[in-house]
Structure 1
Amino acid sequence: MPIFRTRTSRRAGAALSAAAVLLCVATPPAQATADTGAVAAFLQAAMNEQRFEQVLDLAPPTSPQARALAGVVDKDAKTAADYARLFAAAADPKPIVQQPQLDVTVLELDRQGRPLSSGTVLMSPQYPQGIAVPVDRNFHTDQVRYRQWDDAGWYANQGKGTIDIVPGRENAPIDFMLPYPASVLKLMVTFGVLRLVDKGEIKLDDTYDYQPTTLSSLCGGPTSNTIGAYMDASITSSSNAGTCALVKLLHDRGAVDELNQTFQDLGLETMQLKNTNPANGGRWSNPVTMSSLDTAKLLALVNGVPGTAWTAPNGKPVTGEVLSAASRQVFKKLLDEQGFNDMLSTTNRCGSAYPTAGIPQRVNSRWVAADGTVTVEGNKFGKDVRPCNKQAQVTFGHKTGWVGNSGADAGIVKSLPGKAGRHYVVVAITNLGTQYVDANRPATEPGTYPVAFTEKLAKLGSAIDRYETTWYARRNAN
């Protein structure tokens, strides 16, 4: 891809100072810390510092590229190569027309995994300098009117959606259209399948014959494999075909509606695996929704929480036992072996001048060849990651996702033995997918996997990790 350069005027007004930021923290009294509210103030300032409004758009609203992307039924069906070909013709990219849509949460944990405090910041054309989300002691908010993503509506309606996700929020003071979560939706699917395992309805070593009654470009044709193998492919190499098989399995078992209700019962009201196709497990589109706050809370449960994590809106306590210890272990292992480390972390591109280094994670040895390069199911990153693995500070058990107008990363960060301590969940869900690039982005090296995200997201990941390292040291010194 050619290098594009532009001059973008700086946004009027500096980022709000930490003192002016609306703070949002939930801290159970027994776990009270001296840092109440600090993460929200930091996060808002850090997001402003990145100046996301400076990215360039490879598919401006009236371009042929935009028309080619309009009305897509399966939003994840295009491959990296498909997007590269589509955007190669974008000889004159334009600055993004308005402030991008970002939904970012940091959930701070103690050594045992108990949530201590959180910060969620939303950024959009309505909130160009970001706005922090107030949450209660249960890490829950009723202060946001969450709307479903609308591809055309983001341009036409100043980032405002028209379809409400959570009923009864029409008068909430904050109005925000959630970006489509892309392949991060696979976290919901994996959770649903493991719930069936825990109920004894299926086993991971059971063979599932995937027999779609209609075909889609997203899902492909019939296959047969163990449920565990489909799940592994879904998370570690982001296999769409494997995920389609699992979604169809959930439909076959009549478990999709129950899964959506379970999310409601856990207080994760924005998490909805809706409108998928029971015939083939496809049709991943805008009715599939996840907020960064609810996704972070789900990952906290996967990570493991001793005792009560929070109380749901229905008054029932929520514990880590929503999944068995065995299922949590399976889930965490898959996240640790996820291969696409290229959004909030960029270790797959170790040593590159671009993109910059993000969260300093270790790449799982599963994907590292004898020469130190990473290849994930034929997708070659081409950089020797051994120097970065040697200097790594953390494990980052996470899942990334992207389409043209969505970029997402969600995971659990833990310090490696002997390294500076930190333990937190970070989730970023944005509309900054492969459609948006930096002015200084170099051409893709032949034969390698193209950079899918603006490096501003990696810079944000790095800033969050530095902050959390300091926070953890200060808290545990007391």
Structure 2
Amino acid sequence: MSIFRTITGRRAAIALATTSMLLGAAVPPAQATDDSEVAGFLQNVMTELRFEQVLDLAPPGSSQARTLTDVVDKDAKTASDYAQLFAEAADPKPIVQQPQLDVTVLELDWRGRPVSSGTVLMSPQYPRGIVVPVDENFHTDQVRWRQWDDAGWYANQGKGTVDVVPGRENAPIDFMLPYPASVLKLMVNFGVLRLVDKGEIKLEDTYDYQPTTISSLCGGPTSNTIGAYMDASITSSSNSASCALVKLLHDRGAVDELNKTFQDLGLETMQLKNTNPANGGRWSNPVTMSSLDTAKLLALVNGVLGEAWTAPDGKPVTGDVLSLASRQVFKKLLGEQGFNDMLSTANRCGSAYPAPGIPQRVASRWVAADGTVTVAGNKFGQDVRPCNQQAQVTFAHKTGWVGNSGADAGIVRSLPGKNGRNYVVVAFTNLGTQYVDANRPATAPGIFPVTYTEKLARLGLAIDRYEATSYGRRTEN
């Protein structure tokens, strides 16, 4: 039986007071069940942000909702496809129930070791959020994780029917994991780098992607170096490049081994399942990730001096799961992420909407002479140079979205001379392009549409402000 922690009244009070300070409003008390201050803070800030106020562009029964029922190759639609689909929604409706959110903040010490965490789940069953209790290995057996079900989220009040982890029927918390969208590319690229470390492939090797069946997600044959495919997969979220990497893993017989590696590391919800060996596509609901396990994976990518946690078999888990060279490659690619538009909104610097998020620096490779950002042909239209000058942190991350999925996962580090931060933040939600704020303005012609509610950016900023004040206290202990 795992030894779980129970929140103290003092820590809950600190978290409540901090939330009120950061959001500038009174926050109703919430019941937390983890002993970290960040857990209580996170629960309160998520409650105060009122995610249930978003509007639904494809409410149940509408023609738009019926168009979104195909769950195979969920990521195949582009932002323009969704914009056209939802432009037909003349009368958006309030979301029918509390949205599904799975958010983790994993705090690191100067060695990169996890020292504290907070994971909060929200759903129709937990409208004010519930804190996930974790043990000394930042692991929980107190949640019955369920696979995402597009139709079931409406029909079954957010309850899933397919178990992700076996043997959890009696767990006190029951939660359906949001689909991770393009954040699944973290698992794919991790698997590719594992092959590099084994000496089976090299980043400079050319891979001829020759799908035997063609999907709208993946496209036709291509040829490029493995390193170039990885760059496109992470920094500009190329689906075709990612399909090539998934097919590469299948060609090498490495997908089952990758899934077993996640299990061996204690990352039991991370599963790259049901993808198509013929083309690397079929990204659908059997692909699962929880925010807690994703945060732990990113902590390993970031690098850990010494033991990070103990694996289920009793062996220590360290950053050596990837070589130093592979970790450096992975972090560089994440640090050059082009889509900074969910927990951070730096690509839209200075715009009245959406609200500012994590105050990150935008990678220079995307910034044109006039200061605007263009990623894979998608124009954001704002001069980001003022925000880069005022940036507080780097955010090495990966975003993802489909109609009913919004996701962001990354490593936050303070820039030189700024208040210390060293943490991982991951948010998986069902709040993709289908859900908008009532105050969202029309998108200017030729500009990449805002794909997430700005409440997620407000969440990112609140978390970062909290971490800017808490890191010093952690490092003093």
Shorter-chain TM-score category?
over 0.9
Correspondences of 1:435-474 after superposition (within 5 Å): 435-474=434-473
Counterparts of 1:175 and 1:16, CA distance in 2: 24
CA distance in 2, matches of 1:461, 1:187: 20
Q: Residue 32 of structure 2 corresponds to which residue in structure 1?
A: 21
- CA distance in 2: counterparts of 1:319 and 1:70, whole angstroms: 41
Deviation at 1:300, TM superposition (A): 0.0
**C-alpha deviations, 1:347-396, integer Å up to 9, x for none?**
00000110000000000001000000000010000000000000000000
Structure 2: distance between partners of 1:125 and 1:365: 41
Matching residue of 2:226? 227
Residue matched to 2:19: none
Counterpart Cα distance in 1 of 2:37 and 2:211:
50
Amino acid at match of 2:236: S
**In the alignment, what sits opposite 1:357?**
356
The aligned residue for residue 173 of structure 2 is 174
1:4 corresponds in structure 2 to none
Give distance in 2, aligned partners of 1:189 and 1:55.
32
Q: CA deviation at 1:477?
A: 4.6
Corresponding letter in the other structure for 1:339: G
Partner of 1:413: 412
Q: How far is the alpha carbon of 1:17 from its aligned partner?
A: 2.2
Instruction: Indicate the SS of the match to 1:185.
Output: helix
Of all paired residues, the percent bearing the same amino acid is 85
Following the alignment from structure 2 to structure 1, what is the Cα–Cα distance between the partners of residues 72 and 466?
40
State the alpha-carbon separation in 1 of the partners of residues 226 and 33 from structure 2.
45
Task: Encode CA deviations 1:26-53: one digit per residue, 9 max, x unaligned.
Answer: xxxxxxxxxxx10000000000010000
Aligned residue runs from structure 1 range 184-203, under 5 A? 184-203=183-202
5+ residue gaps, structure 1, are 1-13, 25-36
Residue 475 of structure 1, CA deviation: 2.7
Residue type of the partner of 2:306? Answer: G
Q: What secondary structure, in the 3-state scheme, does the structure 2 residue paired with 1:272 have?
A: coil
Q: Which moved more, 1:419-428 or 1:312-321?
A: 312-321
Whether 2:162 is the aligned partner of 1:163: answer yes
Per mean C-alpha deviation after superposition, the further-off stretch among 69-78 and 210-219 is 69-78
Equivalent residue for 2:4?
none
Q: 1:321 is matched with which residue? A: 320
Aligned to 1:122: 121
> Counterparts of 1:339-358 in structure 2 under 5 Å?
339-358=338-357
Q: Which secondary structure does the structure 1 equivalent of 2:424 belong to?
A: strand
What pairs up with 1:23-422 in 2 under 5 angstroms?
A: 23-24=34-35, 37-422=36-421
Superposed displacement of residue 15, structure 1: 5.7
Separation in 2 of the partners of 1:474 and 1:398? 25
- Distance in 1 between the 2:148 and 2:444 partners? 33
Q: What one-letter code is carried by the residue in structure 2 that aligns with 1:338? A: Q
Match of 1:230, as an amino acid? Answer: Y
Deviation at 1:339, TM superposition (A): 0.2
Write the distance in 2 (CA, Å) between the matches of 1:416 and 1:80.
32
Structure 1 length normalisation: TM-score? Answer: 0.94
Equivalent residue letter for 2:206? T
Q: Using the alignment, how far apart are the partners of 1:152 and 1:125 within structure 2?
A: 15
Name the CA distance, whole Å, in 2 between partners of 1:427 and 1:445. 30
- Contact kept in structure 2, 1:404 and 1:433, CA below 8 Å: yes
Q: CA deviation at 1:23?
A: 1.7
C-alpha displacement of 1:328: 0.1
Question: Contact 1:15–1:129 at 8 Å: present in 2 too?
Answer: no
Match of 2:13 in 1: none
Q: Is the 8 A contact 1:265 1:314 kept in 2?
A: yes
Take 1:53 and 1:233, find their aligned partners in 2: how far apart are those partners? 35
Please give the alpha-carbon distance, in whole angstroms, between the structure 1 residues aligned to 2:313 and 2:135: 14
Q: CA RMSD in A?
A: 0.9
Offset at residue 474 of structure 1 (A): 2.5
8 A Cα contact 2:109 2:475, kept in partner:
no
Q: Residues of 1 paired with 2:249 and 2:473: CA distance?
A: 45
Instruction: Give the partner amino acid of 1:55.
Output: V
Q: CA deviation at 1:316?
A: 1.6
Higher alpha-carbon deviation: 160-169 or 64-73: 64-73
- Structure 2 Cα separation of the partners of residues 415 and 336 of structure 1: 13
How far does residue 87 in structure 1 lie from its aligned partner after superposition? Answer: 0.2
**Which 5+ residue runs of structure 2 have no aligned equivalent?**
1-25
Partner of 2:9: none
Secondary structure at the aligned position of 1:159 is classed as coil
SS at match of 1:456: helix
Structure 1 segments, 4+ long, off by >3 Å, are: none
CA distance in 2, matches of 1:73, 1:271: 19
Would you say the 8 A contact 2:79–2:449 is kept in 1? yes
- Native 8 Å contact 2:109 2:474 kept in 1: no
Cα distance between partner residues in 1 of 2:474 and 2:288: 34
Conserved 8 A contact 2:71-2:285: no
Tell me the residue number matched to 2:14.
none
Structure 2 distance, partners of 1:301, 1:476, is 20
State the SS of the aligned residue for 1:451. coil
Which whole-Å CA distance do the structure 2 matches of 1:341 and 1:358 have between them? Answer: 9
Instruction: Determine if contact 1:340/1:376 at 8 Å carries over to the other structure.
Output: yes
Indicate if the aligned counterparts of 1:16 and 1:129 stay in contact, CA closer than 8 A.
Answer: no
Q: Does the 8 Å contact 2:71/2:150 carry over to 1? A: no
- Counterpart CA distance in 1 for 2:254 and 2:27 is 45
Structure 1 residue 410: Cα displacement: 0.1
Work out the CA distance in 1 between the residues paired with 2:151 and 2:371: 42
Per-residue CA deviations over 1:196-223 (Å, capped at 9, x if unaligned) read 0000000000000000000000000000
User: Within 2, Cα distance between the matches of 1:225 and 1:88?
Assistant: 37
Q: Indicate if the aligned counterparts of 1:304 and 1:320 stay in contact, CA closer than 8 A.
A: yes
Query: What is the Cα deviation at residue 54 of structure 1?
Result: 0.2
